[in-house]
Structure 1
Amino acid sequence: MKHWKAYFTFVKPYTKWILLTLFIGVLKFGIPSMLPLVQKYVVDDILLNKSMELQEQVSQLMVVLGATLFLFVIVRGPVEYARQYFAQMITAKILFDLRNRLYSHLQKLSLRYYQNTKVGEIISRFINDAEQTKNIVEVGMMNVWLDAFTLVFVLGFMFYLDPVLTLVSIAIFPLYAIAVKVLYKQLKKLTKDRSAALAGIQAYLHERIQGISVIRSFALERHDQAKLEGVNGNYLKKALAHSRWNAWTFAIINTMTDIAPLLVIGYGGYLVIQQNLTLGTFIAFFGYLDRLYSPLKRLINSSTVLTQASASWERVLELLEEPYDMVDQPDARPLKGGNHGIAFRNVWFKYHEKDPWVLRDISLRIHPGETVAFVGMSGGGKSSLVGLIPRFYDIQKGSLLVGGRDVKEWTMESLRSSIGMVLQDNFLFSGTVRENILFGKPGSSEEEVYEAARAANAHEFILDLPNGYDTEVGERGVKLSGGQKQRIAIARVFLKDPPILILDEATSALDLESEHLIQQSLQQLSRSRTTLIVAHRLSTITHADQIIVMKNGSIAERGTHEELMDKDGVYTQLYSIQNLNP
């Protein structure tokens, strides 16, 4: 019941539209239900009426025909259109709201969640499962009620015509109830299994497309094809199991449905022979029989659709109910502009509860406007440490202060708005160069974009691109070189103009020429800002106010370049390894 209540929060804003659609649907299904009565009247009161003159019979027939033509052609057409349009419009808007809510929720989930969840699984729930949930409204809240109304409406006419024959017609109803109870419980499980298997294909495909260059470089196409066949085969197995059960369901339901007309033909025909039932009534009754079992079959089919929709909604709800690792405190306040200092006080951190400590008892003070570099061997904790400042993760012990207050006392949006990050592998979105720079500060003017690009030494190469700033960069920026992507990422940060700057291995993957240009940009960018640099090449950080040497999650050494060289310790060894010692 809980999961239905959660779905109705999306339905509630459209309650009036749903009621209007139901009313129109009553007209849509009510109009055809009049036809058997018309047939009865024509047969008994016109065609078989021996007391009526031929001319009068023809005249009465034309009147009936004109009235029914008006009702079925002039009135029913607009009613049918309105019913279909409003039903589709409501479900489309509910899906729009649901996906907006899902995306908002995804944006608030921590990086830890994305590290533990396959992207294809998320996309499957966002696209496929969300799409299936529309049947909860379209079928469950509209068609089911309209079919139920049609059943009651038709049964009323049938009891009016002949109560005993009506009871014969519905004698197999209890069998339907048993079939639904037995068949659909298993169908729901099979539907969830099939959806999970489909998500597995999407997750596999997404990952392989992202890594297609690796697959080709190792000539793993055949090996990868075989693995896909395994994943695809799992989906085929689940899909066939679902199809088999679905086929049995339809076969059993349709077989039971065919029994009722045979009972009516037998008993109704006997009554006509005995002259206890008029021929017109028998014809009308048989016409109503189709209108009785058609909505009943639709109700049974609706059970199938709703079972599948319910399974999909449970998968969507699992995503919607994924808890947030980090949220703003109730009294969190926005971090104002200006230069800010940063302080680590006995900070301990690990990514998961059962993991070993990544950072151990880190104490460090960074003054406003100061440049601090973090160096050390891979796995020392450098990137983990700077990733704590924008609250990508929360620490387990100690405290982390920005601007004199614990980071948890600031709203995450304002905290992250005050921080600019340039990473080793900066992500560019598909779109134009201009659009990617504007991610730094949406709504900026053309001149501000150009100024940011000039500051990043990017303006010249951008103008040389086929369409300048309107050049499409491709997915993840594949149409640009590593140095070009990096300079666009730096331009993005220049446009943002944050008081705190984090440079995480920003030049380690570049050639020397690109590195030289980018180093110039980064030095200009770091002026008058609190700057943290994670560096691999020690030659790029000799100017830093402080150099922190990390080893096994702890601070091994700290000081200026000259002070650390004089110590002849870990830093000196790293410097010598890179053959930088003159």
Structure 2
Amino acid sequence: MNTIKQYMTFVKPYKWKILWTIVIGVVKFAIPLLIPLILKFVIDNIIDAEGLTAGEKTSKLFWLMGTSLVIFLFLRPPVEYLRQYLAQWVGSKILYDIRDKLFDHIQKMSLRFYSNTKTGEIISRVIHDVEQTKTFVITGLMNVWLDVVTIAIAITIMLTMDVWLTIVAIILFPFYGFSIKYFYGRLRHLTRERSQALAEVQGHLHERVQGIPVTRSFALEEHEQDQFDERNKTFLNKAITHTAWNAKTFAVTNTITDLAPLLVIAFASYQVINGDLTMGTMMAFVAYMERVYSPLRRLINASTTLTQSIASIDRVFEFYNEPYDIKDKEDAISLNRVDGEIEFENVSFKYNDEENEVLRNINLKVKKGETIALVGMSGGGKSSLVSLIPRFYDVTSGSIKVDGIDIRDVEARSLRNNIGMVLQDNILFSESVAMNIRMGKPDATDEEVKAAARAANAAEFISDLPNGYDTLVGERGVKLSGGQKQRIAIARVFLKNPPILIFDEATSALDLESEHSIQLAMEKLASRRTTFIVAHRLATITHADRIVVIEHGEIQESGSHEELMAKKGSYYDLYEVQHLG
């Protein structure tokens, strides 16, 4: 679908307001068109008028100026205010609607998309590029038409005064058309390249700001400066190329603009000398040249800004049209509260078509309330397996069923409503502790939040924070320790109270004391729920109902801790390596 057509779907709800803005704008721009007529009347009908006394001329001038003053002092200001207010209101509303839709789109994109796209580039499109599109509304849909109507009215008035002089005045118009067609096609392409280069700078900057501790710890400041300079220089080169082409455009079009009044002055002067034109008409014509070529210059400027705006529209809708990897079927059913029986049937999975499978022929049946521990060497496919349960990715082949229903046949959101996850690196938002716990249930009461914190063994450290539950945790929870962040993450799962739990390396990065506290909270949370635990330290999962060993994307062994130790296979070897026997 053409990006301009897509953009117009956001404009359509405001079409009547835009029309009113144009109508009011025509009135606003038409009023100054009276000035050359007033000038002509003053010269021809008052100053050069024969048979009138000085008093009569003064009286006539007084009435003319008085009427003009009323129009310009009392009519024009409110018209100007209304036009400006309506134009900006409509533009801002359209941008609000687009950003609203884009945020919804962002939340539906798969993790595969985010693993291949820089956060800074997404932000650049949602903030910078969307803002740039406002020009399309205000200039392209409003001001351009106002300038065209202004030119049309001015030319009509000029035609009533002198046809041949009007033809001379507009004889250079075709050259404008040619120059615009020649220059602005390339300018659109250059604008897109410049915007992309800027987005890359922003994406790199966003990533490096988050990674400042790494830069400092490895003393990489000079290296990182070179890396940034390289991207910044690319943007500079694109910007200069764009600027050079833009300068050529203005050089040509402004030359045409400057030549046109000279032609009019020359031809009009010749007619006055030969008595074919009055001095008042000549003065009015010269004044109208400014009224014609001033909006024409604005149209040339508008062509530049519109080109930039359209390039931004292309980038916005290129992102907006990014397809969803995970999409609900049209007849997808909504899962209410589930029992928690889960079955993997011949599940194979790979992240991209060109990559190798990370999971092969996984068959696993999990009963309601059972605790399953997934163990094995790093890169074996444990985290990939649990990420398939909430449909962060879809299986490449085979199926996953919850309570006997293929999860691809249910609404993804209703499926995730029944799953609680605690990860190794849980994301906390830079707001209060209470708000971060409430992510599990946004409408929870204060007492429910505190009860969840108590259940997660988090209430004690929260009460010691400067502002208790109202303490701001900083970006990604930077003000809290690893153990504190994990307990808040567990608290929000307690608050959500789901029938299915997934713990993905939830304690691997913690000290033994924090791990023990969190282990107790996890065991309390897992009681009577279907639970998957991905663990590196085997001592934390010996209590599991079943331990599944995954190596190279395949299930190697399955059984209780005692059964697997007796087998003396892969699990036994892993256990011995960790000196836990």
What is the rounded CA distance, in whole Å, between the counterparts of 1:448 and 1:350 in structure 2? 40
Deviation at 1:411, TM superposition (A): 0.6
Q: Which runs of 4+ in 1 moved over 3 A?
A: none
Q: Which residue of 2 aligns with 1:576?
A: 576
Q: How does 1:282-301 map to 2 (within 5 A)?
A: 282-301=282-301
- Given residue 499 of structure 1, which amino acid in structure 2 is its aligned partner? P
**Deviation string for 1:478-506 (max 9, x for gaps)?**
01111111111111111111110000000
What is the rounded CA distance, in whole Å, between the counterparts of 1:338 and 1:93 in structure 2? 42
Q: Which residue of 1 aligns with 2:418?
A: 418
**Deviation string for 1:403-428 (max 9, x for gaps)?**
21000121101100100000000000
Matching of residue 229 in structure 1 with residue 229 in structure 2: yes
- Given residue 370 of structure 2, which amino acid in structure 1 is its aligned partner? E
What is the rounded CA distance, in whole Å, between the counterparts of 1:63 and 1:387 in structure 2? 82
Matching of residue 281 in structure 1 with residue 281 in structure 2: yes
- Given residue 123 of structure 1, which amino acid in structure 2 is its aligned partner? I
Q: Which residue of 2 aligns with 1:34?
A: 34
Q: Which residue of 1 aligns with 2:14?
A: 14
**Deviation string for 1:334-377 (max 9, x for gaps)?**
11114211000111111111111111100000000111100010
What is the rounded CA distance, in whole Å, between the counterparts of 2:217 and 2:402 in structure 1? 45
Matching of residue 325 in structure 1 with residue 325 in structure 2: yes
What is the rounded CA distance, in whole Å, between the counterparts of 1:472 and 1:326 in structure 2? 34
Q: Which residue of 2 aligns with 1:399?
A: 399
Q: Which residue of 2 aligns with 1:24?
A: 24
Q: Which residue of 2 aligns with 1:353?
A: 353
Matching of residue 546 in structure 1 with residue 546 in structure 2: yes
**Deviation string for 1:24-79 (max 9, x for gaps)?**
00100010111111111111111111211211111111111111111111100000
Q: Which residue of 2 aligns with 1:531?
A: 531
Q: Which residue of 2 aligns with 1:455?
A: 455
**Deviation string for 1:116-152 (max 9, x for gaps)?**
1111221111111111111111111101111110111
Q: Which residue of 2 aligns with 1:146?
A: 146
- Given residue 225 of structure 1, which amino acid in structure 2 is its aligned partner? Q
SS of aligned partner of 1:399: strand
What is the rounded CA distance, in whole Å, between the counterparts of 2:141 and 2:2 in structure 1? 17
Q: Which residue of 2 aligns with 1:473?
A: 473
Q: Which residue of 1 aligns with 2:181?
A: 181
- Given residue 64 of structure 1, which amino acid in structure 2 is its aligned partner? L
Q: Which residue of 2 aligns with 1:429?
A: 429
**Deviation string for 1:530-569 (max 9, x for gaps)?**
0000011111111111100011000000000110011011
Q: Which residue of 1 aligns with 2:265?
A: 265
Q: Which residue of 1 aligns with 2:380?
A: 380
SS of aligned partner of 2:213: helix
What is the rounded CA distance, in whole Å, between the counterparts of 2:174 and 2:9 in structure 1? 34
Count of aligned pairs: 581
What is the rounded CA distance, in whole Å, between the counterparts of 2:14 and 2:528 in structure 1? 53
Q: Which residue of 1 aligns with 2:124?
A: 124
What is the rounded CA distance, in whole Å, between the counterparts of 2:494 and 2:52 in structure 1? 95
SS of aligned partner of 1:31: helix
SS of aligned partner of 1:323: coil
Q: Which residue of 1 aligns with 2:508?
A: 508
Matching of residue 254 in structure 1 with residue 254 in structure 2: yes
- Given residue 564 of structure 2, which amino acid in structure 1 is its aligned partner? L
Q: How does 1:183-198 map to 2 (within 5 A)?
A: 183-198=183-198
SS of aligned partner of 2:154: helix
SS of aligned partner of 2:566: helix
Please report the RMSD computed on the Cα atoms of aligned residues, expressed in angstroms.
0.9
**Deviation string for 1:85-139 (max 9, x for gaps)?**
1000000000000111111111111111111111122111111111111111111
Deviates more, 1:410-419 or 1:44-53: 44-53
What is the rounded CA distance, in whole Å, between the counterparts of 1:167 and 1:488 in structure 2? 77
What is the rounded CA distance, in whole Å, between the counterparts of 1:244 and 1:409 in structure 2? 55
Contact 2:338 2:403 in 1 (8 A): no
- Given residue 107 of structure 1, which amino acid in structure 2 is its aligned partner? Q
Deviation at 1:439, TM superposition (A): 0.6
Q: Where do 5+ consecutive residues of structure 1 fail to align? A: none
- Given residue 544 of structure 2, which amino acid in structure 1 is its aligned partner? A
Q: Which residue of 2 aligns with 1:336?
A: 336
Contact 2:124 2:202 in 1 (8 A): yes
**Deviation string for 1:139-194 (max 9, x for gaps)?**
11101111110111000000011110111111111111111111111111110110
Matching of residue 565 in structure 1 with residue 569 in structure 2: no
What is the rounded CA distance, in whole Å, between the counterparts of 2:348 and 2:407 in structure 1? 15
What is the rounded CA distance, in whole Å, between the counterparts of 1:219 and 1:100 in structure 2? 41
What is the rounded CA distance, in whole Å, between the counterparts of 2:16 and 2:165 in structure 1? 39
SS of aligned partner of 2:547: strand
- Given residue 184 of structure 2, which amino acid in structure 1 is its aligned partner? Y
Q: Which residue of 2 aligns with 1:61?
A: 61
What is the rounded CA distance, in whole Å, between the counterparts of 1:3 and 1:189 in structure 2? 15
SS of aligned partner of 1:437: helix
What is the rounded CA distance, in whole Å, between the counterparts of 1:339 and 1:214 in structure 2? 45
What is the rounded CA distance, in whole Å, between the counterparts of 1:207 and 1:4 in structure 2? 32
- Given residue 570 of structure 1, which amino acid in structure 2 is its aligned partner? S
Q: Which residue of 1 aligns with 2:70?
A: 70
SS of aligned partner of 1:183: helix
User: Percent identity, aligned pairs only?
Assistant: 57
Q: Which residue of 2 aligns with 1:409?
A: 409
Deviates more, 1:479-488 or 1:41-50: 41-50
- Given residue 13 of structure 2, which amino acid in structure 1 is its aligned partner? P
SS of aligned partner of 1:72: helix
